A and B are shown apart, each in its own frame.
Chain A
Amino acid sequence: MANDLKLILELSAGAELLFGNIKRRQLSLDGSQKWTIGSLLKWMHANILTRSPELFIQGDTVRPGILVLVNDTDWELLGGLDYELQQNDNILFISTLHGG
C-alpha cells in the first residue's frame, strides 16, 4: 500500500534467535494508524516472535539487557516506548554481550 509505514527491523548479537534467526526484515505496517516503539513491540510479539517471549519482553517493555536503537541512536534519547515511528526508520534490537 502506498500509505504503508515502511521500516527496516534489525536484530543482532543473539536477539535474532528469538525471531526465527532472521537478522533483517523490511516491514510494511498499516500507515493509517500511529505507530510507536511500544506498539511495534506488541506487533513483534504477536507476529514474528518465535520463542521465549520472556527473553524479549517484560511487562510492556524490552527485558533488561536489550538495547533499542532508532537510526543508530539509543531510544532513550528519543522518548523510549513513546517514540513515534517515522517513514523509513531503522529499528535495531541488540542483546548485550558479556563474554570474553
Chain B
Amino acid sequence: MLGVEALRNERSRLRQEIADLRSAICKKEQSLRELEEALANGGGNGDGLADEGGERNTGTIQTQLTNDDIARYSRQLILPNFGVQGQLRLKNSSVLIVGMGGLGCPAAQYLAAAGVGYLGLIDYDQVERSNFHRQTLHTEARCGMAKTESARIALLELNPSCRIHCHSELINSHNASNIMRSYDVVLDCSDNVATRYLLNDACVIFRKPLVSGSALKMDGQLTVYNYGAQGPCYRCIYPVPPPPEAVTNCGDGGVLGAVTGVIGSLQALETIKIIVGGLGEVLAGRMLIFDGTTGQFRNIRIRSKRSNCHACSSQPLITDLIDYELFCGMHATDKDHPLQLLESDQRLDVQTYHDKLESQPHLLFDVRSTAEFEICQLSTNAINLPLAEVLDDSYLKRFAVELQNKDLPIIVLCRRGNDSQIAVQHMRNRFPDHSIRDLIGGLHAWTRKVDPDFPIY
C-alpha cells in the first residue's frame, strides 16, 4: 500500500510542477509581449510594464487597426454601427471580470475574442474538478492552479493580443478601490450576496457600469446597474439583503453549465454594447430573466433610480465601502463554513464510527437530498431521510417502529456535517432519551480520514 501511496504523491507532485511551469511560461510570454509592445511604441520608460500594483497598463491609445486586427475581427467589423471605430473602442477598453467561474469564463472568452484590449480577472480560488462542467476555460491539466492564471492561459491561446492582469485574491472593501479604479466596465460574475453589494457600492463610488449576471439550477438573470442618468443600482432594486436561509449557492443547489454559459455570454454582449456605443439599447432599467426549463426569456421593466437610495442618490449614506459580510450576514466565499450547533458528546468522529459503531446495530440517517443520495451512499445500511422530512416531522410516521426503541443508536450524516447537526438538534428535542449523534465533517471527512476512494462532490 505504501508503494501505491508514494506513487500517488509523486504523481500529484509532478502534476503540480507541470502546472506551475506552464503558468510561469505564460507569465513570461505576457512579459515578452508587453516588452515588445513598449519597444514598438518607442518607449523605454517602462510605462508598459508597470502594472503590478493593480493599476491598468495604460500604454498608448491605439488609433489604427493592424492587418492582423482586420483579418481577425473582419466578421464584426462589417456589422453596421460597429465598424473600425467600434473595434478601436474595444481595443482601447479595459474590463474587469469578478469571478472566473461559470459566468466569468464565457464572458471573458467572448470579450477576449472580440478584441477587448485589457482584461482584469479576479478570483481567489483554484481550479478543481467540480468546476469543469461549467467553467469552460479551465482544463484537467490545470487542476490546482489559480483560476485567474488558468483562464489567462486559455484566453491568450484564443487571442494573444489581449493584455490580461490576474488579481488572484478575494475582492473586499480594502483592495477594491485599488483594483477597480482603472477599469472602464465591471462584470459581476460572483457567486455570493456580499460581493454583489460590494461591487455595486464600489461601482457607484467610482462611477462604473456594472454588468450583473447570476445563475442557479436552470435559471439565470441579467441586468446592467449604474448605467445612464436614470439607471438604478443594485441597492435601488434590493435595499435590504435577503435572509441567509433564503440564499442558495451553486455548490448546494446545483447549476447547469449551459445556463451559466447563456448568461455569461449575454454579459459579454452588454459589455460590448456599453463600450462600442450605438449598437443598441443597453439592458439598464430592465432585467432579463431566463428559465432554462421552459426555454423562455422574459424582459421585465424594473424601477429606475430610487430617490432615497443609500448608495446612488444625490445624498448617499454610503460614501465609503463597508464590511459587506457583516452587512449581509453571509460569507463572500462558498468554502466550507462549519456550523457548531451541537455539543461534542452529541457528535461522532468518522474514524470512531468506522472502528466501533459501524458493525453494531444502529440507524444511519443520511439527510441529503434524494438526488445527492443517489450519487453515493456511505453503506448499504444508510437510509435516505432528506432534511426537509426531519424538519416537517414526517419522519415520525415513517420510522414509528424504529423510534420506539430507545437503545438503538441513531447516527445522522450529510455531505459536510452542517445539515446533520440541524437534523440532530431537531430530533433530540423530540427524543431527549435516545442516543442521537451526527458524523463530524460528513462524507467529506469520511473520504479524507477513512476511505480515500469514496467519491467527493
A binds B: yes
A38 close to B (CB within 8 Å): no
- Chain B residues near A67: list those with CB within 8 A: 237, 287, 300, 302
Distance between Cα atoms of A41 and B452 in the complex (Å): 50
Q: Which residue of the partner chain A has the closest CB to B330?
A: A98
Question: Within the assembled complex, what's the spacing in Å between the Cα atoms of A69 and B300?
Answer: 8
**Which of A73, A74, A77, A96 meets B242, CB within 8 Å?**
A96
A12-B291, A94-B289 given as contacts; is B249 within 8 A of A72 (CB)?
no
Structural contact, A100 and B243, CB atoms closer than 8 A: no
Q: Select one of A64, A77, A94 contacting B240, CB under 8 A.
A: A64
Chain B contacts for A100, CB-based, 8 A:
99, 101-104, 189-191, 213-215, 250, 260
Picked from B192, B238, B300, the residue with its CB within 8 Å of the CB of A64 is B238
Q: Which residues on A sit within 8 Å (CB–CB) of B250?
A: 99-100
Q: Are A63 and B104 in contact (CB under 8 A)?
A: no
Min C-beta distance of A69 to chain B, whole Å: 5
Query: Which A residues from 28 to 80 make CB contacts under 8 A with B?
Result: 51, 54-55, 63-65, 67, 69, 72-74, 76-77
Contacting A at CB under 8 A, from B282-309, are 287, 289, 291, 298-303
Place the interface of chain B in its size category: 35 or more
**How long is the Cα–Cα vector from A73 to B300 in the complex, in angstroms?**
6
Q: Is B241 an interface residue (CB 8 A)?
A: yes
Any A CB within 8 A of the CB of B3: no
B389 to chain A, nearest CB (A): 12
A99/B215 contact (C-beta < 8 A), A51-B392, A74-B300, A77-B303 known = yes
Cβ of B243 and Cβ of A12 under 8 Å apart?
no
Query: What's the least CB distance linking A52 to chain B, in Å?
Result: 8
For the complex, give the distance between the alpha carbons of A54 and B245 in Å: 10
| In the assembled complex, A13 has its CB within 8 A of some CB on chain B | yes
Q: Shortest CB–CB separation between residue B132 and chain A, in angstroms? A: 16
Known A94-B289, A98-B214, A100-B214; contact A55-B246, beta-carbon cutoff 8 A: yes
Closest A residue by C-beta to B299: A72
Cα(A73)–Cα(B298), bound, Å: 11
Of B201-209, B216-224, B417-425, the segment with at least 4 beta carbons within 8 Å of chain A is B216-224
Does A65 contact B219, Cβ atoms closer than 8 Å? no
* Minimum CB–CB distance for B392 against chain A, Å: 7
In the assembled complex, how far is the CB of residue B266 from the closest CB belonging to chain A, in whole angstroms?
13
Instruction: Report whether B300 and A97 are in contact in the complex, using a CB–CB cutoff of 8 Å.
Output: no
Residues of B with C-beta under 8 A to A96: 214, 221, 238, 242
- B236 and chain A: residue at smallest CB distance: A76
In the A-B complex, list the 6 residue pairs whose CB atoms are closest, starting with the nearest.
Answer: A65-B242, A64-B240, A97-B214, A99-B216, A99-B250, A100-B103
Other A-B contacts than A64-B243, A67-B287, A99-B102, 4 sampled, CB-CB below 8 A, are A13-B291, A65-B242, A65-B247, A72-B301
Q: List residues of B whose CB falls within 8 A of some A CB.
A: 99, 101-104, 189-193, 196, 213-217, 219-221, 237-243, 245-250, 253, 255, 260, 287, 289, 291, 298-303, 388, 392
User: 17 A-B pairs, CB-CB below 8 angstroms?
Assistant: A13-B216, A63-B242, A64-B238, A64-B241, A73-B300, A94-B289, A96-B214, A96-B242, A97-B215, A97-B219, A97-B221, A98-B193, A98-B196, A99-B191, A100-B191, A100-B215, A100-B250
